Structure 1
């Protein structure tokens, strides 16, 4: 049975651009595809990728939005800018001036309209026997012009370099991520290594991470996937358990968490430990909202079955925070993490270059020394049968001895050797 190839999708940045160009919110696009807004947010940030029917529906909708944008660009008329004249375009007055357009707001509610300012009260008319009522047609005296206010000079925003921005993100999120990863694995060194590897991956993809709406969530998803990878069990240090927490209550809670399936454990830590809502938890674990809710309920039941005092979600959240805070889990310095990531990247780059050069050299040597014509193989030897054995020379008979003496006594040179003589 053959499977159809998955439809291609544009990059995450292009997906978000198409949605914003079509003036659609994440909630509206999620309702058209049949998913939650948190899932759409994860798709647009690049943390997750749609699969199956959801991918087909999402790709079809993005293609429709792209076609609509192309059609709008091709059929958009040129904007006219007519010059206004005093006769046809009078200056707007405070009574007839159009209201300013409201500023764009990212939330669902619009900004409240501003009320017109009340007129400033003028000086009260003087009353006295010498002063009479002033005519309303008499113009009021103009106020004397005062000095114009000088605008305050605001300091220009300081642009951070990529290294400085990465260091700020690491110092902000690394300590909390190490504690959260410790709840998933129960191993201190593995938690630190998972967070460092996640930040190294973030540094390699820094332009994408810097534009993400939730950079900490991007790193958290990468760290959780690395920590819960099945190949971690094959490492030699996994065979040697680490010392458990000193508090018996913390030890029991940690053992209960480690007995949960990895997906249930991750859902419980994200929802009750980190404090994400259900759609965001479902998006980060690449599951639907009902599936995430089912995993959360099963994990809570398992924890409450062994620790009845943690049946309340608030109590469970407090105990998870205490368990993560009681351990001394430090993180490396950000420059060390960046340096290790760059060294690892250089090592694998040089290894790939060396392997490619060796492969090219081996191929060239093979082409140079390979035969250019066919040489039939030499057939194996076969035993020849029926040949009489070779007999060695034995002793001479009397006749042979007499003939040999006769030949030795005759001359070996001269005409006698060539012409026979009669005896």
Structure 2
């Protein structure tokens, strides 16, 4: 029979148990043998551990649950009783105080004051409950401004994203540029990114898309390869990664490098779950064929982290990224306004200078053949001369010329 996986508490309770035990994500990651980003993904509910890691994580949370239950039991215990005997001479060298609470209760020491005696007839023992003040509510911190929230996200994601982009592209400068462009776009769309379910995943997907863009090969600054890593093993692994197709390389980095689950890897690479699984298996086979010592996923995960950490890749300051994003947004806004004004001006000029009616163009002259040329008039004959003289002599001036003559 198939053994059912170990049960895990809900993601919010996982973080609560860790914080109740005063443990950081780095400490939990060291115990589990994973990275801090993996623990963060487990606590946020984006991924779920599998196999032995799931069992070890369930045992750790179970131990933290027991410790938290003991702490709650101690906090819910009744207040300590202090027995004060009346009519007894006080010992100046001994002060009456309440028992010091254990560190698990996390309550401050409470001074005990001797109550006013009710009766002085004979020695008597009175149990006086020591009031333990309730813990003061934590002061709610002011909400972060958009710039502060962006800087916090940048400080958390940028260093790791630069190393991941270097594994994808094999270029240090392109890795820095990819992360910077991704965060610039995130700052431009901050209202959308701030309410996203996974802002870090949004920025990571944008940086990966920019780093894997095929148009970088046409840029002059990226036509020549960069110097490879100094270590021979690191250089061999990077060469194998760069020979893989871009979708295979991205799937391998997301699953074996970062530790995302297979459905989340498929969603981020915009592929189906079976397609993502096939890409992962083919990428692992290609790496194992050239580097047999990395056939194990755990060894591959460790080597990817070592290769990425070997390079000193530093991201820009968050303030610089925000200023660059604002400058880029202003530039493109002004360019769009100028282009729109140019189109409007050209349209207005066309309307102003266009003719209101159609005038067909005059066709060019053509030579007409078959018609005899026009001869010049010659001298008049005698009959024509007589006729002309008669017409000229018979012309009348004034109204009379309009009246026909009787024959």
Asked if TM exceeds 0.5, the reply is: yes
Unaligned segments of structure 1, at least 5 residues: 1-40, 43-110, 125-140, 391-423
Aligned to 2:280: 296
Distance 1:163 1:188 in 2: 27
CA displacement 1:298-333 (0-9 Å, x = unmatched): 000000000001001111111101110111111111
> By how many angstroms is 1:376 displaced?
1.1
Aligned to 2:232: 248
Aligned to 1:314: 298
165-174 or 211-220: which moved more? 211-220
309-318 or 149-158: which moved more? 149-158
Q: Note the 1:152-301 alignment, pairs <5 A.
A: 152=136, 154-301=138-285
> By how many angstroms is 1:118 displaced?
8.2
Distance 1:122 1:236 in 2: 81
> By how many angstroms is 1:388 displaced?
7.1
Aligned to 1:380: 364
Shift of the 372–189 alpha-carbon distance from structure 1 to 2, 3 Å rule, reads: same
Q: Note the 1:10-89 alignment, pairs <5 A.
A: none
CA displacement 1:258-306 (0-9 Å, x = unmatched): 0001101000000111111111111111112221111111000000000
Q: How many residues align?
A: 271
> By how many angstroms is 1:210 displaced?
1.4
> By how many angstroms is 1:152 displaced?
2.6
Aligned to 1:341: 325
Q: Is the Cα–Cα contact under 8 Å of residues 251 and 269 in structure 2 kept in the other structure?
A: yes
188-197 or 152-161: which moved more? 152-161
RMSD: 3.4
Name the TM-score, length of structure 1 as normaliser.
0.57
Q: Tell me the secondary structure at the aligned position of residue 358 of structure 2.
A: coil
Distance 1:216 1:354 in 2: 35
Distance 1:118 1:145 in 2: 13
Give the number of the structure with larger relative contact order, counting CA–CA contacts within 8 Å between residues 6 or more apart.
Answer: 1
Shift of the 374–248 alpha-carbon distance from structure 1 to 2, 3 Å rule, reads: same
Structure 1 ranges of 4+ moved more than 6 A: 117-124, 141-148, 386-390
CA displacement 1:370-406 (0-9 Å, x = unmatched): 111110111111135677799xxxxxxxxxxxxxxxx
Q: Is the Cα–Cα contact under 8 Å of residues 266 and 272 in structure 2 kept in the other structure?
A: yes
Name the TM-score, length of structure 2 as normaliser.
0.60
Unaligned segments of structure 2, at least 5 residues: 1-44, 47-67, 84-124, 376-407
Q: Tell me the secondary structure at the aligned position of residue 203 of structure 2.
A: helix
Distance 2:82 2:310 in 1: 69
